[in-house]
Amino acid sequence: MDTLVDIRRLKKHFPILGGVLRRPVGAVKAVDGVSLAIKRGQWLGLVGESGCGKTTLAKTLIRLWKPTSGHIYFDVPDVVKAEIEMLESQDKNGSKLNSLLKENDLGTFSSSRVRSFHRRAQLVHQDPFTSLNPRMKIKNIVAEPLKIHHVLSGHAVETAVEELLDKVGLSSGQLERYPHQFSGGQRQRIAIARALATKPEFIAFDEPTSALDVSVQAQILNLLKDLKREFGLTYLYITHELLIAESVCDYIAVMYVGKVVEMGKPEEIFHTPRHPYSQSLIAATPVPDPTRRVGRIVLPGEVPSPANPPPGCHFNPRCSRASDECREFEPELKLISNDHYVACFYPL
């Protein structure tokens, strides 16, 4: 499988403004040096506690937000990325490096190039009620991306919208309705139809089922599985529900305070997690109970603020194994076995 999405040392910091003049006095380091690759056709799950930077990572990698630094590559050949890394390490050849970055790094793209990139990559939000315009009919909501990107016009748009609604399990009889006339699960289907309109290769889902009942969750997950197979899609799937991540994802990344601390196949992450944070996250997962929705993950101890993370490993204040090394130095992600990476000096 080749790599479709490749982010390297990605940072997204939000300035904290203070004083009468509203000058920057600090920064919320929501995403603070994340490197992650998503292979074509992969379903990558991104998990972690509230506020650890999952949404920021998704919005930045899809270029709804401009990164603070780092690189975002989408469908860029390995040789090109290797050349960029080589030129960066040599710290010379500025014009060659700049032209390669301008051509290939999404972080540098102008707004018109970002717009055309959005034909290929889409984001589906947690709550379609806020992301779907309440004053627009469903047919116009789903048709909007086709018009914005000049994919189709005239009667062809109507036919395409009907086909898209059919793909997500809604009928063309519902075209004239407004979002409030649908249930939560149906609204999420509409958001998915809209995301599919431009025939993207990649879709990022930001907790798409966490506002839904368990039975509706299962239907939406089945729909996502079918669509992925039919259209050969690649997914980034953000979720608090570890049981869902384990059941549907091919690969898992665990995030903690702006960083990815562990990545691996679901069986490794959920059965033999090696980072102390992943271990406690999994230990805190409620046991399956079909009568109740799995809540947000709550671990003992305070999550550090991304505006003022502790020095060294960000997990050290909550880690029973932390040593002086952990309090002073930041561990990098290291390959510890086949496709399993851990950022810890003392992996379990």
Ligand X SMILES: Nc1ncnc2c1ncn2[C@@H]1O[C@H](COP(=O)(O)OP(=O)(O)OP(=O)(O)O)[C@@H](O)[C@H]1O
Q: Which stretch binds Mg ion (CB under 5 A): 22-30, 49-57, 106-114, 279-287?
A: 49-57
Q: Tell me which of ligand X, Mg ion, none is bound by residue 209, counting a contact when its beta carbon lies within the kind-specific cut-off of 5 to 8 angstroms.
A: none
CB contact set of 213 (below 8 Å; sequence gap of 6+): 184, 185, 293
In sequence order, what are the residues at sequence separation of 6 or more whose Cβ sits closer than 8 angstroms to the Cβ of residue 73?
Answer: 3, 5, 6, 7, 8, 81, 104, 105, 106
Among 55, 68, 131, 209, binds Mg ion (CB under 5 A): 55
Which residue lies nearer to ligand X by CB, 28 or 196? 28
**Cβ contacts of 77 within 8 Å, gap of 6 or more:** none
Identify residues 31-50 at the interface with ligand X (CB under 6 A): 48, 50
Residue of 7, 30, 204, 212 interacting with ligand X (CB under 6 A): 30
From the list Mg ion, ligand X, none, pick the one residue 71 interacts with, judged by a Cβ distance below 5 to 8 Å according to partner type: none
Distance CA 25, CA 32 (A): 18
Pick from 8, 11, 54, 187: which binds ligand X (CB under 6 A)? 54
**What angle separates helix 94-104 from helix 78-90, to the nearest 10 degrees?**
150
From ligand X, Mg ion, none, which one binds at residue 50 (CB under 5 to 8 Å depending on kind)?
A: ligand X
Q: Does residue number 52 form part of the binding site for ligand X (CB under 6 A)?
A: yes
d(CA 294, CA 290): 9
Q: Is 14 in the site for ligand X (CB under 6 A)?
A: yes
Which of ligand X, Mg ion, none sits in contact with 30, Cβ below 5 to 8 A by type?
ligand X
Among 4, 13, 36, 56, binds ligand X (CB under 6 A): 56
The piece of 7-15, 55-63, 78-86, 287-295 that touches Mg ion (CB under 5 A) is: 55-63
User: CA-CA distance, 125 to 13, in Å (whole number)?
Assistant: 21
Query: Is there binding between residue 55 and ligand X (CB under 6 A)?
Result: yes
Candidates 306, 309, 312, 331; binder of ligand X (CB under 6 A) is: 306
- Shortest CA distance to 286 belongs to which of 241, 236, 231? 241
Quick check: 27 binds ligand X (CB under 6 A)? no
CB 157 within 8 A of CB 145: no
CA distances from 29 to 201, 214, 240, 314, 326 (A): 29, 34, 21, 12, 19
Residues near Mg ion, by CB under 5 A: 55
Residues near ligand X, by CB under 6 A: 14, 28, 30, 48, 50-56, 306
